[in-house]
Amino acid sequence: MDVDYETTPIGWHGVSVRVPADWTLGAVGGDRKSGYLRVDDERMPRLQVKWSQGRINLEKKRDEYAKRLTVGKRKRPTGLAVDLEAKVISQRSKPKKDLVTFAWRGPQCGMGVLWNCEVCNRALIAQVSWRQPEKLHEVARQVLESLDDHGIGGWEIWGVDGFAFLAPEGHFLAKWKRMTRYVELDLTTKNEATIKAARWGMVPLVLSGRTMLDWHKDENRRRRDVAWQAQEMEVKGHPAVAAWGERRRFAARLRKSAARLLRRRPAIYFAACAWHCPESNRLYLVESVHPEQGEVLKGVVDSILCHEEEAE
């Protein structure tokens, strides 16, 4: 996306987009099959995205949106004029999607796209809005051009509040936390492989004078789901700690079936990495519990950009 302003990535259930840095995730709902994402700034909702599995009738759905824009909930004219022939983004920019676009103007303006994706068989509807006398036409076009609904090369973007990383396709969101100066995303698969990625701000308060190794030991002292060991290292030129081990096999699970005790089960490896970026005053953590020892962890860690890399 060719822009002259700072952008930040947002990724959710395979849907990804780059937005101006002062836009933040406002609301999310649903799951990978059917969901909704809204991005706001301090003035108003700016970007809204809806997705579902399977194809839709693009022209019919576009006409329905246009009717809702021109006629309000009380069936009164809204003062908006809709252009169903507006060329918001080109078909060339989305070669694997059947695409239609539209725009509207009035006291509120906006641009929208609808598509059916040939790759992931998703239908997606998205729009960017602004109020007069704002001039966000080019911003809206570039945001919509950056939008996609599946990963590339087997990896997809997850990201919120300026914290983004790549995870292998096939993971879904188990839970997430979003607090002042803290973001955490926990992903899992049907086979119970997991990825945890987190970022802290105000690191001196988090570490409280401890080394990264001491902090990690204190954070995991009561942990019983994995057997692990750790050592200090460097990551991206920053002080870091690495941990590795295996997931424990709880006796209660093994007692479920006598035959299960006789069957050889593949090891599920635990790997973790945490590092402190002093320039940005942030602490990052990635954990994986996965049959592929270390490979998933390395891919996620390598995808996270911290201050040093962004400044180069």
pLDDT in tens, 254-293: 444 444 544 555 678 999 999 999 999 999 999 999 887 6
Q: Whole domain around residue 31: which residue ranges?
A: 7-146
Residue at 202 is within a domain: yes
Does the pLDDT of residue 311 top 90, yes or no? no
| 101 Cβ neighbours under 8 A, 6+ residues apart | 86, 87, 88, 89, 111, 112, 113, 114
Q: Per-residue confidence at 4, pLDDT binned at 50, 70, 90? A: low
| 139 and 171 belong to one structural domain | no
Q: What is the DSSP letter of 298?
A: H
Handedness of CA 164, 156, 176, 294 (dihedral sign): negative
Who's near 107: CB < 8 A, 6+ residues apart? 79, 80, 131, 132
Tell me the per-residue pLDDT of 126-159, one tens digit each, with 9 for 90 and over: 999 999 999 999 999 999 999 999 999 999 999 9
Which ranges constitute the DSSP H helices of 220-289?
251-254, 258-262
Residue 151 in any domain: the answer is: no
* pLDDT band of 5, cuts 50, 70, 90: confident
Percent of the chain exceeding pLDDT 90 equals 81
Domain count, the chain: 2
Q: Distance from first CA to last CA of the chain, Å, rounded?
A: 19
Show which of 146, 177, 203 is a domain's final residue. 146
Beta carbons of 32 and 14 less than 8 angstroms apart: yes
Residues 137 and 168 in one domain: no
Summary mean pLDDT of the chain? 90
Among 120, 126, 125, CA closest to 150: 120
